[in-house]
Amino acid sequence: MILTVTLNTALDVTYRVPRLLPHASHRVTTVTERPGGKGLNVARVLAALGHKVTATGFAGGPVGSVVQNVLAMSPGVVDALLPCEGASRRTVAVVDEASGDTTQFNEPGPLITPAEWSRFLMHYEELVARVRAVALCGSLPPGVPVGAYAVLVRVARAAGVPVLLDTSGEALRRGVAARPEIIKPNAAELAELTGSRDPLPATRDARRRGAHAVVTSLGPGGLLAATAEGTWQAAPPRPLSGNPTGAGDSAVAGLLSALAEGLDWPARLTRAVALSAATVLAPVAGEFDPRTYEEVRGSVKVTPA
């Protein structure tokens, strides 16, 4: 069993419009809704890969009810979300069909009380005792301590469970000091953490700050990984055109599933890049076609960096 944690769950709403223009009214061609927040996206991909997965975090209000109702229809994902008094957020993505670009609007999320946070910690400790790996993903909702991920990493480490941390800002800065197994920042998050915009030395610097391994997303350039076993860059076989929404979460699922299966680092990176690429190429944001994944996986290039 793999556990994913999404403290700031969301209902992801995607609008597609022929062309997005400022100060104009738009006719929406299609609307899709799905449970969101990075950890729930990771959970769905893990389940699609055949892993048993439990998803936890907070869900509250009418939006939280919709999230849980839809999540119940996701095969292979066990709902372990805790209720909260505040209302879960929505994220709205507007896809410009002419350019392929996506504009995102993210609400802040519910205010979590100290009592709710204490209840979650007890719930998390119980879940961690029964899993093989943990993904801690996304932003912190208001009211959750900024050092929350550091606490959750230490709880998992005490139980002997490896952790992948995917967050940003001060939550990442504090979380990496708790020594997670893997952190997965993008290039901007890495620069904010280390002060360097050169990905290779910045990735190595981030590892010195506490993470056992650092895997940096380079967007179309693939992934750059600094680990105890070596440093590699993994890239898709060609530039990809599509919707990148959810591609980073698919990469997290690839890394975590391969970690749980005991694969070596080149194999982990190959899986992560192939899943990310298949997600970009999928017609629905955050999904992937298994056939596309298999096709891309055979062409991913992994080279020492």
DSSP state string for 165-201? EE--HHHHHHHHTT--SEE--BHHHHHHHHS---HHH
- Contacts made by residues 121-129, CB under 8 angstroms, sequence distance 24+: 121/151, 121/155, 123/56, 123/80, 123/82, 124/5, 124/56, 124/152, 124/155, 125/155, 125/159, 127/3, 127/54, 127/56, 127/80, 128/3, 128/155, 128/156, 128/159, 128/161, 129/159
Gap between the Cα atoms of 147 and 106, Å rounded? 22
205 is a catalytic site residue: no
Question: Which of these is catalytic: 79, 96, 205, 249?
Answer: 249
Q: Which stretches of 209-289 are DSSP H helices?
A: 247-260, 265-281
Nearest Cα to Cα of residue 299 among 245, 241, 248, 240:
240
Q: What residues are annotated to the active site? A: 249
